[in-house]
Structure 1
Amino acid sequence: MGTPMLDQFLASIAALVSNRQGDHLQDYLQVVPEHMRDGYRHMALELQKSYPKGPGDDSLLKRCEALVPKNPDGTTWHAFPIFIRSYLAYLRDGNVSNPLEAYKSLSGLLNQCLQALGDSQMGAIVLRTVVYLSQIVAGLAMTLEKNIQLLAQLRLDRPQDAFERTSLVEDAANVVREGFIKCLVDRGGTTGPSGKPQGKRAGIYLMANHCLRLLHRCGKLRSADTIFKSISAQSPPLEHYPAAHRVTYLYYLGRYLFANNSFYLANKALHEAYNQCHVQCLKQRRLILIYLISSNIIMGRFPSLQLLQKPEAQGLYDIFYPVCRIIQSGDYLALRDHFATGSSAGQWFLRKGLMYQMRNRCEVLVWRSLIRKVFIFGGFHGDPSAQRAPPPMLHLSKVETAVRLLQSRHKEHFTKELFSKGDANVITIRLPEDSDYDGIAGLVSKASDPEVDDYLITSGYYDENGAWVENPSGQLIEGPEYEQYTDSLDYLYRGTLGLPTQDTHSSKLLQEIESIVSSLIKQNLLGGYLTHNPARFVIPGAKHVGVLAKGFPNVWQTISGQQQSYGDEVPAWIVTRQALPTQPAFQGTGGGRVINLKGAKAVGS
């Protein structure tokens, strides 16, 4: 019996290989039933009759071997006929109605295609096919992840150690990563006009983007550092690739840097992605804009109304404007309410992977705003007319009063027990109750509690003869070090186990405010120094630049200036301009570096 459909199919494949038309090859190798025309079903019937499973596989492979001509040196593309034979076997035997069976068959087909991609001379022909198949396999993996029964059945077929078990989407990402490496290390591709890479190296960012997309889907984007290290070391400049590749890559690079708290570098990558994204791609521009605005807010720069009125920013005003208003207000408890996991805003930021960065980083800015407001209304601004006068300062007891006012407005943040006792030392940062940390911050700190045991004031000790001696009163144990350290130990443990405190006028809240101010000074978000007794924030040298400009420097300029001092180049963003000697995040080795020879002298001069 003849096989007209199979003959026509193989002739078309041979022509595509001969002409190196890899983009059209992908159109022929369809695997989704909805995309297959009637010819594929007729060809499947021909294969079942003329090349049945088992006995017909060798004959089918011989027919596929004729698709690839031999090279002048006598070698041939061995992996490609095996891949085509696997594809025809998939048409003949594949049970596409069962997601589990389809996933197994297509995973094997993808691995065969990756083997064909590895050929140094002809592998680039199947590049688009690798991307197409990996997308289908990833979609099936996500479907199986939602079906517990099918997933359990697959786990039984592929037993893994519990500590090494990965999701199916992550497995798909690892397969795509192999294709990315094959493209990256290819040295057979020629260089086109203006240095544009060709061959498999033309697919570096196509494969990288697909792998990054899968890692994002399975929540493992932070583990993409190997991709960025490899690109940083060996990739051609990004600008030689199509705009779609550039925008997608810069978006995921920005997301990765944002997740690793490199907000300044993330802002640069996302800003470039937004600028290069086509104005009609509203969905993509909106997605980039969400993370671009977030990184700017964290660094102290709020979005303008003009930006929030753009078509791609529809609805973002209601998301980000309340956050900006809370930061300006200085109400740290309102910020915690806004980003609570039970709130609608908290859920939105959580789904976008933004909540923890926004909540934690924005609280720093809120405290700065609160201290600034208190200073404006209640601080000493200095006497500009006096020749010698005290510098501007703010007594932190006034900040304490402002915090207590905020706490009175947000009583739901504190337990009824604390307020029923009239506790005047409600701390701003409450720690959860944990038996491993009893006694910290005054949560459970009773010397009479038999479970409270201390490393220095213990419930007992061994004497010089090795006998256990009880210490029910919790006294310091005498020994060679006792007299030397009695005073310092008494100071360290004063107030922890009920011992008297000398600084009775200093509340826990005031002490914590001192720590916050000290941290803001360390971060250069406050310009001045701190005195302890009495607790004051002092702003020296404000006469020439102004007290607010000196004591409360611009947040954006401060943070961006600090980041620029560590290096302004975004790691893994390869450009043609002369690069700096170091790239902050990735210290990969290998080629791809540009050496700055500006000012170098000629040999022998």
Structure 2
Amino acid sequence: MATPMLDQFLASIADLVSKRQGDNLQDYLQVVPEQMRDGYRHMALELQKAYPKGPGDERLLKRCEALVPKTADGTTWPAFPLFIRSYLAYLRDGNVSNLLEAYKALSALLNQCLQALGDSQMGAIVLRTVVYLSQIVASLAMTLEKNPQLLAQLRLDRPQDAFERTSLVEDAANVVREGFIKCLSDRGGAAGPKARPEGKRAGIYLMANHCLKLLHKCGKLRSADTIFKSISAQSPPLEYYPAAHRVTYLYYLGRYLFANNSFYLARNALQEAYNQCHVQCLKQKRLILIYLISCNVIMGRFPSLQLLQKPEAQGLYDIFYPVCLIIRSGDYLAFRKHFDAGSPTGQWFLRKSMLYQMRNRCELLVWRSLVRKVFLLGGFHGDPSAQRGPPPILHLSKVETAVRLLQARHGVKVSLDISTSKSSGTNIITIRLPADSDYDGIAGLVSKTSDPDVDDYLFAQSYYDENGELIENPGGQIVPGPEYDEYADPLDDLVPDIHGGYTETEHVSRLLQEIESIVASLIKQNLLGGYLTHNPARFVIPGAKHVGAMAKGFPNIWQTISSQQHSYGEDVPAWIIAKQPLPTQSAFPAGAPGGGRVINLKGAKAVGS
């Protein structure tokens, strides 16, 4: 039976293979019905008649084997004819109207294409096709994840252990990871005439970016550690690759470092991604800018109004400017309200996967601002005219007064910040951390009747003594034992009813102790310059005579953090640069840092100030 469309298709594929035109090959191997021309439908009909499913598969494979050169041992690229036969079988038998069937068929086709990619000599030809198919499979996976019925049916077909079950998007990411490994481990793609990798190694960052995108989609970007380690060990320098590859990779590298709380290194990667992103790619520049500004805010470096007025920063003024004002104000209650998970700002940062980093890291800056304001208004700044005298001092009781004024300003009632002891009727005042679902029952005060888990342990109805005898405890008294003795002090904070109530003096010291702990943390991180004295609690700023109390006691946050990072090293992991300058025009200006495997950004231009 004559098959003119099939003959023309196979002849075109053979010509592309002989010329190693992998980009054009991708254009021929279309799988989305909306993108297929009428010729594909005619070819599908020819395949159904001339090569029916089952008896025609072997004859169809024979025809596909003619697409690659032959040797005495057989074809030089055995996986490619199998892949093309699978593609033709998809055209002949595929039911694209059924999402589940389409996903299964395309997943099998992608795996077959990966086998063809593994060939050391010819595999690079199907590199773009692997990326194209993986994008289609990932898109179908995300659609199926939103359809519980189809997803449940697929799970029945592919049973997995409950502890090993992964999402379909993560499965797609793992498949793309295999393609990335094949590209990275290729030794046939030597450097070309301009020192740029050729062959499969030219697709290292293309495959890495696609895998990172999928991991981001399924919320597993932090599991990309193996990708970055592999790139650090084996990848050619990043500047040898196209700008689109570089910008996308540096963006995901910055997101990964941000998720792992390496904000300074994340800022360096995101800064370079922003600098290299094309000026007309406003959507991409805005996405990079969101995380770049967040990194800088966490490190005490606020965006300038000039930056927030740029075209790519549209809408970001309304997000970040109020945050900066609240941090400067020192109002920790307004800050917590602003970043509450139910607030519009909290929801926005939650969608960007930054809520917890911004809320937890920036609150420390809010407390520093509060201490700074109290010191300006009520601290002893020293006597510059005196030859000798006491150093600048801030009594922390004044910070306590400021906290109480903030609580009163926000209308904080007894039910919010003050819990009442049932045994004594007295009030226990604490600063109280915001609620955290990971630590339910610990962030607030726990009473004998509020937490069943604590009650079961401390006030069990029956227990075994040290001799192994069962002791009934119907009155719910505290269970004696070494475990309770060991944790007696911490449990005093959690269960204040155990040892009775506190006096008013103890209530005041409780609040003051928490403020003292916060100030100690700020000093430990070098965000405050000085030391603490206890009883009375005071913040002391020594050595302020020549530089001033404010400069010594409250150093610039950004300069402090960046100088600390200098001592650990500024090398961004998994960012590879050339040991020697590029033979063509470099991506970096003259005098830019170089000479190592990772980049150093001491002289990098900042986005904002």
Q: In the alignment, what sits opposite 1:516?
A: 518
Alpha-carbon distance change, 217 to 414 in structure 1, aligned in 2, over 3 angstroms: farther
Letter in 2 for 1:184: L
Q: Residue 60 in 1 paired to residue 60 in 2?
A: yes
Letter in 2 for 1:195: A
Letter in 2 for 1:170: E
Query: Does the 8 Å CA contact 2:123/2:200 hold for their aligned counterparts?
Result: yes
Q: Using the alignment, how far apart are the partners of 1:450 and 1:222 within structure 2?
A: 32
CA RMSD across the alignment = 3.4
Query: Does the 8 Å CA contact 1:395/1:535 hold for their aligned counterparts?
Result: yes
Q: Using the alignment, how far apart are the partners of 1:425 and 1:349 within structure 2?
A: 33
Alpha-carbon distance change, 100 to 389 in structure 1, aligned in 2, over 3 angstroms: same
Q: Using the alignment, how far apart are the partners of 1:440 and 1:280 within structure 2?
A: 47
Tell me whether 564-573 or 288-297 shows the greater mean CA deviation.
564-573
Q: How do 1:103-502 and structure 2 match up within 5 A? A: 103-411=103-411, 415=415, 418=418, 425-430=428-433, 442-444=445-447, 462=465, 497-498=498-499
Letter in 1 for 2:515: I
Q: Using the alignment, how far apart are the partners of 2:488 and 2:313 within structure 1?
A: 59
Query: Does the 8 Å CA contact 2:417/2:431 hold for their aligned counterparts?
Result: no
Tell me whether 7-16 or 454-463 shows the greater mean CA deviation.
454-463
Letter in 2 for 1:200: K
Aligned to 1:340, what secondary structure does the other structure show? coil
Query: Does the 8 Å CA contact 2:579/2:596 hold for their aligned counterparts?
Result: no
1:218-254 C-alpha deviation (Å, 9 max, x unpaired): 1111111111111111000000000000000000000
Query: Does the 8 Å CA contact 1:463/1:469 hold for their aligned counterparts?
Result: no
TM-score calculated relative to the size of structure 2: 0.87
Q: Residue 99 in 1 paired to residue 99 in 2?
A: yes
Query: Does the 8 Å CA contact 1:425/1:507 hold for their aligned counterparts?
Result: no
Q: In the alignment, what sits opposite 2:44?
A: 44
Q: Using the alignment, how far apart are the partners of 1:565 and 1:71 within structure 2?
A: 60
Structure 1 residue 26, shift from structure 2 partner:
0.3
Q: Using the alignment, how far apart are the partners of 1:553 and 1:177 within structure 2?
A: 45
Structure 1 residue 194, shift from structure 2 partner:
3.4
Letter in 2 for 1:60: L
Letter in 2 for 1:363: E
Query: Does the 8 Å CA contact 2:419/2:428 hold for their aligned counterparts?
Result: no
Alpha-carbon distance change, 440 to 128 in structure 1, aligned in 2, over 3 angstroms: closer
Q: In the alignment, what sits opposite 2:560?
A: 558
Letter in 2 for 1:67: L
Aligned to 1:181, what secondary structure does the other structure show? helix
Q: Using the alignment, how far apart are the partners of 2:446 and 2:206 within structure 1?
A: 54
Structure 1 residue 58, shift from structure 2 partner:
0.4
Q: In the alignment, what sits opposite 2:603?
A: none
Query: Does the 8 Å CA contact 1:270/1:288 hold for their aligned counterparts?
Result: yes
Q: Using the alignment, how far apart are the partners of 1:249 and 1:337 within structure 2?
A: 35
Q: In the alignment, what sits opposite 1:599?
A: none
1:144-185 C-alpha deviation (Å, 9 max, x unpaired): 111111111111111111111111111111100000000000
Q: Using the alignment, how far apart are the partners of 1:450 and 1:294 within structure 2?
A: 39
Q: Using the alignment, how far apart are the partners of 2:561 and 2:121 within structure 1?
A: 49
Q: In the alignment, what sits opposite 1:539?
A: 541
Q: Using the alignment, how far apart are the partners of 1:323 and 1:149 within structure 2?
A: 43
Aligned to 1:537, what secondary structure does the other structure show? strand
Tell me whether 567-576 or 496-505 shows the greater mean CA deviation.
496-505
Query: Does the 8 Å CA contact 1:233/1:593 hold for their aligned counterparts?
Result: no
1:475-497 C-alpha deviation (Å, 9 max, x unpaired): 99899xxxxx99x9899969663
Q: Using the alignment, how far apart are the partners of 1:501 and 1:145 within structure 2?
A: 54
Aligned to 1:394, what secondary structure does the other structure show? strand
Query: Does the 8 Å CA contact 1:186/1:200 hold for their aligned counterparts?
Result: yes
Q: Using the alignment, how far apart are the partners of 1:242 and 1:83 within structure 2?
A: 29
Task: Give the unaligned 5+ runs of structure 2.
Answer: 582-594, 599-609
Q: Using the alignment, how far apart are the partners of 1:69 and 1:198 within structure 2?
A: 22
Alpha-carbon distance change, 439 to 343 in structure 1, aligned in 2, over 3 angstroms: closer
Q: Residue 568 in 1 paired to residue 570 in 2?
A: yes
Q: Using the alignment, how far apart are the partners of 1:228 and 1:437 within structure 2?
A: 35
Q: Using the alignment, how far apart are the partners of 2:177 and 2:240 within structure 1?
A: 21
Aligned to 1:194, what secondary structure does the other structure show? coil
1:179-210 C-alpha deviation (Å, 9 max, x unpaired): 00000000011211332100000000000000
1:489-515 C-alpha deviation (Å, 9 max, x unpaired): 899969663358696374321110011
Letter in 1 for 2:534: H
Q: Using the alignment, how far apart are the partners of 2:150 and 2:308 within structure 1?
A: 45
Aligned to 1:504, what secondary structure does the other structure show? helix
Q: Of 549, 562, 571, which residue of structure 1 is paired with 2:551?
A: 549
Q: Using the alignment, how far apart are the partners of 1:54 and 1:364 within structure 2?
A: 68
Query: Does the 8 Å CA contact 1:462/1:469 hold for their aligned counterparts?
Result: no
Letter in 2 for 1:270: L
Alpha-carbon distance change, 47 to 573 in structure 1, aligned in 2, over 3 angstroms: same
Task: Give the unaligned 5+ runs of structure 1.
Answer: 480-484, 580-591, 596-605
Q: Using the alignment, how far apart are the partners of 1:216 and 1:83 within structure 2?
A: 29
Aligned to 1:415, what secondary structure does the other structure show? helix
Alpha-carbon distance change, 300 to 47 in structure 1, aligned in 2, over 3 angstroms: same
Tell me whether 290-299 or 156-165 shows the greater mean CA deviation.
156-165
Q: In the alignment, what sits opposite 1:31?
A: 31
Tell me whether 469-478 or 354-363 shows the greater mean CA deviation.
469-478
Structure 1 residue 450, shift from structure 2 partner:
13
Alpha-carbon distance change, 542 to 71 in structure 1, aligned in 2, over 3 angstroms: farther
Q: Using the alignment, how far apart are the partners of 2:372 and 2:456 within structure 1?
A: 43
Letter in 2 for 1:405: L
Query: Does the 8 Å CA contact 2:458/2:479 hold for their aligned counterparts?
Result: no
Structure 1 residue 451, shift from structure 2 partner:
7.4
Q: Aligned residues, how many?
A: 575
Query: Does the 8 Å CA contact 1:255/1:266 hold for their aligned counterparts?
Result: yes
Structure 1 residue 388, shift from structure 2 partner:
1.8
Query: Does the 8 Å CA contact 1:397/1:510 hold for their aligned counterparts?
Result: yes
